[in-house]
C-alpha cells in the first residue's frame, strides 16, 4: 500500500510539473499577448493620427482650434492663424521660397483672417529656419498676402511686372506680436509632428522639381466638383508649378469639407524632393466648372520631404507631374 501511495504521489507531481510547463509554454504567453494587444488597441483608439484622414493627412481642426481664423462670413478656418484680441501686422519684407530665394516684397499691413477683413494669412504651425543672406532666420509661411507691384521674382530669377498676392516664407521678425506668434506656431507644429511622425519615412527616392502646368483647356478647372467658374478657390492650377515654384501640402485637397490642400512649403524649380516610396500615389479628380463628373485630368500627389537651405525637412504631399527623377 505504501508503494502505491508513493507512486500515486509521484504521478501527481509529474502531472503538476507538466501542467506548469504547459502554462509557461502556451497559456501565459498567449495571455500576455492578449493584454499587450488590448493595451495597444486602447492606445491606438485615442491617437489623433487614427482619426479619419490618416496620420499623413491631418485635418487642421486636429491641431489648431484655439487660434483658428475666421472667413468673411464668420466661418471657422482652422488652417489659418488668428490671436484672439490681438491685431497681427506685417512690416514691409521679402517673401522667400524654401531655398532662401526672394519671391516678392509685401506691403506693411494687418494680416489674418477675420470677419470682414482679410489681407493674407499665416498658416498655422508653419514655422521653419531658412538661410537668408547666409544667416539662419526663423520664418513663418504667409498665405495669399498682397505684394508690391513689380516686386515679384520667378523661380528662375525673372522679374515680374504685376502685383497680386503670393504665398511664401516671411521672417518672423517682420511680424507682430512676434513673441506670441513664435510660441503659438511652435505649439501647433509640435502637435502636427505628434499627429504625423516625420521619422516614419523609409524607402526614399530623389526627384527634382520641374516646370509643369495643366493643359490650357483645364487651366481654370477645379479639384472640387460643382464649383462655379466665378470661384477662385480650389483651382487645380494652384497645385502645379506656378511662377517657377511648387507647393508642398500638409494634406490632400478633395471634394469634402475636412481636407483643404493646405500649403506647407514652397519650393523653386530645381529643388529636390525626397519621395517616400512606401506611400502610394493619390490621384485627385479634376472637374470642369459646374460639373460633378471627373474629367480626364487628375492631380497626382506623392508624399515625401523637401529639404530647405537650412537643412530642415518639410514633410508634405506634392504633385508628381511636377517632379522628375
**DSSP secondary structure of 90-159:** E-S-EEE-TTS-EEEEBPSEEESEETTEES-EEEEEEEEEEEETTEEEEEEEEEEEEB-TT--B-TTS-B
Give per-residue pLDDT as tens, 184-202.
999 999 998 887 765 556 6
Q: Are 210 and 201 in contact (CB under 8 A)?
A: no
The per-residue pLDDT of the chain, averaged, comes to 81
CA distances to 32, 242, 253 from 257, rounded to whole Å, are 43, 25, 9
Tell whether the model's pLDDT for residue 24 goes beyond 80: no
Which residue's C-alpha cell is 471634394?
A: 255
307 touches 126 (CB < 8 A)? no
pLDDT value of position 230: 78
Q: How confident is the model at residue 39 (pLDDT cuts 50, 70, 90)?
A: very low
pLDDT tens figures, 198-239:
555 668 999 999 999 999 999 899 988 888 887 777 899 999
Residue whose cell numbers read 514652397: 266
* Pairwise pLDDT comparison (300 vs 162), residue with the higher score: 300
Q: How far apart are CA 8 and CA 146, in angstroms?
A: 94
pLDDT of 43 reads: 35
The percent of the chain in helix, strand and coil, each rounded to the nearest 5, is 25, 35, 40
Identify the three-state secondary structure at position 310.
coil
C-alpha cell at 117: 477683413
| pLDDT attached to residue 153 | 87
Amino acid at each position: 500500500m505504501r508503494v502505491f501511495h508513493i507512486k500515486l504521489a509521484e504521478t501527481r507531481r509529474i502531472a503538476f510539473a507538466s501542467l506548469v510547463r504547459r502554462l509557461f509554454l502556451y497559456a501565459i504567453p498567449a495571455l500576455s499577448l492578449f493584454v499587450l494587444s488590448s493595451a495597444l488597441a486602447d492606445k491606438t483608439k485615442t491617437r489623433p493620427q487614427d482619426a479619419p484622414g490618416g496620420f499623413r493627412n491631418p485635418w487642421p481642426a486636429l491641431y489648431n482650434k484655439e487660434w483658428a481664423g475666421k472667413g468673411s462670413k464668420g466661418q471657422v478656418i482652422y488652417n489659418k492663424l488668428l490671436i484672439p484680441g490681438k491685431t497681427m501686422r506685417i512690416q514691409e519684407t521679402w517673401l522667400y521660397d524654401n531655398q532662401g530665394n526672394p519671391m516678392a516684397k509685401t506691403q506693411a499691413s494687418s494680416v489674418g483672417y477675420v470677419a470682414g477683413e482679410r489681407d493674407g494669412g499665416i498658416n498655422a504651425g508653419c514655422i521653419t529656419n531658412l538661410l537668408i543672406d547666409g544667416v539662419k532666420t526663423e520664418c513663418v509661411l504667409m498665405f495669399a498676402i498682397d505684394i508690391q507691384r513689380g516686386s515679384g521674382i520667378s523661380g528662375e530669377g525673372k522679374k515680374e511686372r504685376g502685383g497680386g498676392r503670393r504665398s511664401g516664407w516671411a521672417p518672423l521678425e517682420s511680424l507682430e506680436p512676434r513673441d506670441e506668434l513664435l510660441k503659438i506656431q511652435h505649439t501647433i507644429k509640435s502637435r502636427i509632428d505628434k499627429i504625423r511622425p516625420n521619422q516614419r519615412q523609409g524607402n526614399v527616392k530623389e526627384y527634382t522639381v520641374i516646370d509643369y502646368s495643366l493643359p490650357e483647356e483645364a487651366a481654370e478647372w477645379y479639384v472640387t466638383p460643382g464649383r462655379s467658374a466665378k470661384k477662385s478657390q480650389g483651382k487645380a492650377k494652384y497645385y502645379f508649378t506656378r511662377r517657377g515654384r511648387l507647393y508642398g501640402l500638409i494634406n490632400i485637397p478633395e471634394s469634402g469639407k475636412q481636407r483643404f490642400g493646405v500649403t506647407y512649403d514652397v519650393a523653386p524649380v530645381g529643388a529636390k524632393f525626397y519621395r517616400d516610396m512606401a506611400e502610394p500615389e493619390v490621384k485627385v479628380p479634376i472637374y470642369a466648372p459646374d460639373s460633378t463628373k471627373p474629367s480626364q485630368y487628375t492631380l497626382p500627389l506623392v508624399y515625401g520631404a523637401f529639404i530647405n537651405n537650412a537643412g530642415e525637412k518639410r514633410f508634405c504631399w506634392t504633385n508628381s507631374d511636377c517632379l522628375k527623377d
